[in-house]
Amino acid sequence: MAAYTFLSSGAGQGMSLKNHAASAKARIWSVDSSVTIYYNSGYAGPCDKLHTNERPAAYQLSNTYNNNASVLFRSAKVSQGCVNFS
């Protein structure tokens, strides 16, 4: 599978998203939904979570800053000890 890359202009343009993202922004489809960014592939390891409002953002990721290997979209809130961003 081909890697996802940064499309916008800036220092990261054209680079792979895996292990290069310093921030994240999501569009949440319901109140109980969340997006979790994991340090390791396979949805494991330390994590950062975006939830609560329609367009949560983490302008500087905490646990996964430039070390993010997987992202999971959930339709339910799950507590995993992630750093939470709203």
pLDDT tens-digit map of 56-66: 888 899 999 99
pLDDT at 13 over 60: yes
* Res 78: pLDDT: 67
- The mean pLDDT of 46-59, rounded to a whole number, is 82
| pTM (2 d.p.) | 0.79
How high is the pLDDT of residue 1?
A: 46
Mean pLDDT of 28-52: 86
- Condensed to tens digits (0 to 9), the pLDDT of residues 66-75 reads 999 888 888 7
DSSP state letters, the chain:
-PPPB--SSSTTTTSBSTTT-S-EE---SSTT-EEEEEEETTTEEEEEEEESSSS-EESS-STTTT---EEEEESS---SSPEEE-
